[in-house]
Amino acid sequence: MDYAVGRLISILYRKNQVYLNIVLREYAVTSAESPFLLYLYKRDGISQEDLSAYLVIDKASTARAIQSLTEKGYVYREKDETDKRRNRVYLTDKARSARRGIDRKLRRWSRFLTEDLCPEVSDTVYTALERMVEKVEHTDFRKKWGDKQ
């Protein structure tokens, strides 16, 4: 079978963005900003550069998102003590107090996606997606395909 997996993943991604923009409105956080906040919940104080690398988002987009979250009172930046060229990003008390509500809304989306699937199918889908992500993260696309059509 010739499945259009990318199309299906793209639809899920876009619908997730719509969902996030609706449910995070009460926090004034957008779907574009939410990945930064979520990763900072795990790695508070990470460098802005490492945040970009982890999220696979260019440095300019990261800078804009962090600036917006700063203006909204969710994060602040400080220069790295050992390397003044690097900015470290930290959560504020406002961000910490919003965490439980934001996490709850994200879990609701995951439950919605899988509510009609039996646990075995849900696990299989998750494992398959993890493998796909791992594969693309370890592929040099220029080397693999280059200018080939």
Model confidence pLDDT, tens digit, residues 37-50: 999 999 999 999 99
Domains along the sequence of the chain with CATH:
5-139 (1.10.10.10)
Q: How confident is the model at residue 1 (pLDDT cuts 50, 70, 90)?
A: low
Name 89's bridge partners.
Answer: 77
Which residues contact residue 108 at a Cβ distance below 8 angstroms, ignoring those fewer than 6 apart? 23
Query: What is the per-residue pLDDT for 28?
Result: 97
Q: Provide, rounded to the nearest whole percent, the portion of the chain with pLDDT above 90.
A: 84
Res 143: pLDDT: 87
Residues 6+ apart with CB under 8 A from 12: 113
Strand boundaries in 26-131, DSSP class E:
75-79, 87-91
Tens of pLDDT, residues 66-125: 999 999 999 999 998 898 889 999 999 999 999 999 999 999 999 999 999 999 999 999
Residue 92 backbone phi and psi in degrees, to 5: -95, 175
State pTM to two decimals. Answer: 0.84
Taking the CA atoms of residue 44, residue 36, residue 39 and residue 54 in that order, the dihedral angle to the nearest 10 degrees is -110
* Cα(76)–Cα(73) distance, integer angstroms: 8
Average pLDDT, the chain: 94
pLDDT of 144 above 90: no
Q: What's the confidence (pLDDT) of residue 141?
A: 86
Q: How confident is the model at residue 149 (pLDDT cuts 50, 70, 90)?
A: low
Instruction: With cut-offs at 50, 70 and 90, classify the pLDDT of residue 35.
Output: very high
